Amino acid sequence: MTYLTAKEHRRLSAVARKEEKADLCLRGGAIVNCMSRKIGKGDIAICQGRIAAIGEDFPARDTLDCTGFYIAPAFIDAHIHIESTMLCPEQFARAVVPRGTGCVIADPHEIANCLGIDGVRFMMGHSLAIPMDIYYMAPSCVPATSLETSGAELGPDEVGILLRMEGILGLGEMMNFPGVIYGDEQAEAKLEAARRLGSVIDGHAPGLSGDMLCAYINAGIDSDHECTNAKEAREKLDLGMYLYLRQGTSEKNLRDIIPAVDDSNFHRCCLVSDDRDPDDLMDLGHMDYSLKVAVDCGLDPVWAISMVTINPARRFGLTEKGAIAPGYLADIVLLRDLMDFQVEAVFFRGRQVAESGELTVDIPCPAPPSHVCKSMVVNESSIDFTIKADAEKMRVIGIRHGQIETDELIMPVKKRGEVAVSDVDRDVIKLAVLERHHGTGNVGLGFVKGLGLRQGAIASSVSHDSHNVVVAGVEDRDMKAAVSVLCECGGGLVAIKGGKVLSMLPLPVAGLMSDRPLGEVRLGLDEMKAAAGSIGAVSPNPFMILSFLALPVIPKLKLTDQGLVDVEKFSFVPLFFH
């Protein structure tokens, strides 16, 4: 956190009075005023990384002619999981700073499920020497459920430690909404720790309404990013919540819920990404893309900019951010227009850090420490994917393309002797989830329909929320080979055919992220998708589908390292149907 010293204020005042030269003066641009919701004119005097004054004829050591450009505060993403980009914080900054992002509030839920507090500390430590601000939330649900084995557990004591750390703004999304509503002891203790410190508490309340929603909100939770329609969004706004309008890679809700925004509530609305995979980050962008979609939906451009600047700044108590005004930090973007939001230049603390889509400063990317690159603890010698068939029918996970929800299908068992095997003619192949944090040897076995594989196997160490290894394949031999490759490279994605590697994308940092640049990760992901397609995968991104097949909080049927889960019953069910 920053604060203004008396010495700094004296110089700012001298610059404002035109008695001293500004470090930089931005002249002639159209200023997006998020306070008045208007576009004004004036020169901006910058000194010591802050805005000293707005007016005319400021003497300055350097000037920049901004005629023809709009000047706005740098963008703030109020909710993102950086791990979803597959990039370490430094590489993430390299990707988003040229697109105008000056700050994000990140929930390190994914790495915390692998490495606990050590994972959060890694993210925070690697977010310091970069030309943007990354603040964090304390993950509230590690593990997310008792139906899977995570790499760590953050109880109330650990959450309390995190909440007191510099750079952590509050409690991350409380996904255990049934636990909140019905007074689960662990959930209550974490919420109380946050309330005691006066911390912000983010929510996760898909579909909650009426009395149940009120019971959730009165715990002190006052935001939600899970709305899927305008009616749901209006109710949450009317009950006092901040509305996070999400336009991510997995879930794209912005167009459906933006009609809920009006003059009475827009000050409690923020645009967020939640998750953004390498393809979208490179091809579409970050908050610049969310702004474009919002304006395309009919939202006033100044309102939209306010929803990625002053609104999230006020929501999180970042009192020096989010506006072009005296005393505010000089985190600024120059925009060519207010439709496509093409970013011409980016300033961080008054220093130009990007121009025309390229960084103008170096961002060091030190190698990640060894302890975060040793997250694959799998006893390969004990792996056995054999499934003995003791019935004629079985439960099969049915993929719904374009959604992370699945169906529960009851289908005939294809047997080879007494063993259940894949049936490629009906697009049913074997699925396994292996615990990879503690070497327990847990292996959940099942079948999935809809991936399209006709040979080989694909596997990933990215599988929400506990991020165990998930592997799908036609033959056990290829499935074992895929797991072996991931163990050797420290995690990532792999496609196998006939025991040979078709393609692999190492993600050695907790099995979730790479320390390589976005372009390299994107190229690797493209090669992975092509390799999966060559063995029959029908989805444009089968690895994203794979990553959600082990998520036991999204209906209907999922597989964890502990077994097959009926999410609606929140209990395990047998594979075979009698």
Task: Look at residue 570 in the predicted model and tell me its pLDDT.
Answer: 86
Is the pLDDT at 1 greater than 70, yes or no? no
Residue 3 has pLDDT above 90, yes or no: no
DSSP state of 413: P
**C-beta separation of 107 from 173 below 8 A:** yes
The pLDDT score that the predictor gives to residue 404 is: 82
- For the chain, state the CA radius of gyration: 25
479 close to 473: Cβ distance less than 8 angstroms: yes
Q: Mean per-residue pLDDT for 193-211?
A: 95
- As a whole number, mean pLDDT of residues 406-431 equals 96
Which pTM value belongs to this model?
0.95
Task: Give the residue-averaged pLDDT of 287-296.
Answer: 97
- Domain 74-314 listed as CATH 3.40.1210.10: no
Q: Give buried/exposed letters for 528-563 (b at 16+ CB in 10 A, else e).
A: bbebbeebbbebebbbbbbbbbbbbbebbbbbbbbb
pLDDT digits (tens, 9 = 90+) for 26-69: 999 999 999 999 999 999 999 999 999 999 999 999 999 999 99
Give me the chain's average pLDDT, please.
95
Give the dihedral sign, CA 205/207/210/211.
negative
The answer to whether 69 touches 29, Cβ cutoff 8 Å, is yes
For 53, the enclosing helix (H) or strand (E) is strand 50-55
DSSP conformation letters of 72-123: EEPEEEEEE-GGGGTB-HHHHHHHHGGGTEEEEEE--HHHHHHHTHHHHHHH
Contact 422, 414 (CB under 8 A): yes
**Residues 107-117: what's their mean pLDDT?**
97
Identify the three-state secondary structure at position 353.
strand
Task: Please give the structure tokens belonging to residue 258.
Answer: 């933006």
Residue type, 186: Q
Q: Are 451 and 539 in contact (CB under 8 A)?
A: yes
* Angle formed by the axes of helices 156-163 and 185-196, nearest 10°: 20
Q: What is the pLDDT of residue 402?
A: 77
Give residues with Cβ within 8 angstroms of 172, minimum separation 6.
107, 108, 109, 137, 138, 139, 140, 141, 202
User: What tokens does 3 get?
Assistant: 């604060």
For 455-494, how does the pLDDT look when each residue is reduced to its tens digit (9 = 90+)? 999 999 999 989 999 999 999 999 999 999 999 999 999 9
Q: What is the pLDDT of residues 120-174, one digit of tens each?
A: 999 999 999 999 999 999 999 999 888 999 999 999 999 999 999 999 999 999 9
Under the banding of pLDDT at 50, 70 and 90, the label for residue 379 is: confident
Q: What residues have CB less than 8 Å from 138, skipping those under 6 apart?
A: 120, 154, 159, 162, 163, 168, 170, 171, 172, 194
Instruction: Tell me the domain boundaries of the chain.
Output: 74-314, 372-577
pLDDT over 70, % of the chain:
100
pLDDT digits (tens, 9 = 90+) for 507-554: 999 999 999 999 999 999 999 999 999 999 999 999 999 999 999 988
- The whole-number average pLDDT for the span 409-433 is 97
Using a 10 angstrom Cβ sphere, with 0-12 exposed, 13-18 middle and 19 or more buried, the burial of residue 22 is buried
pLDDT tens digits along 205-234? 988 999 999 999 999 999 999 999 999 999
pLDDT(347) > 90:
yes
Cα dihedral sign, 260-264-268-271 = positive
Q: Which residues pair with 563 in a beta bridge?
A: 560
Q: What's the pLDDT band for 85 if we cut at 50, 70, 90?
A: very high
- Quick check: 322 and 314 in contact, CB under 8 A? yes
Task: Tell me the per-residue pLDDT of 294-305, one tens digit each, with 9 for 90 and over.
Answer: 999 999 999 999
Of 138, 141, 140, the C-alpha closest to 120 is: 138
pLDDT higher for 464 or 343?
Answer: 343
Burial status of residue 484 (CB atoms within 10 A of its CB: 0-12, 13-18, 19 or more): middle
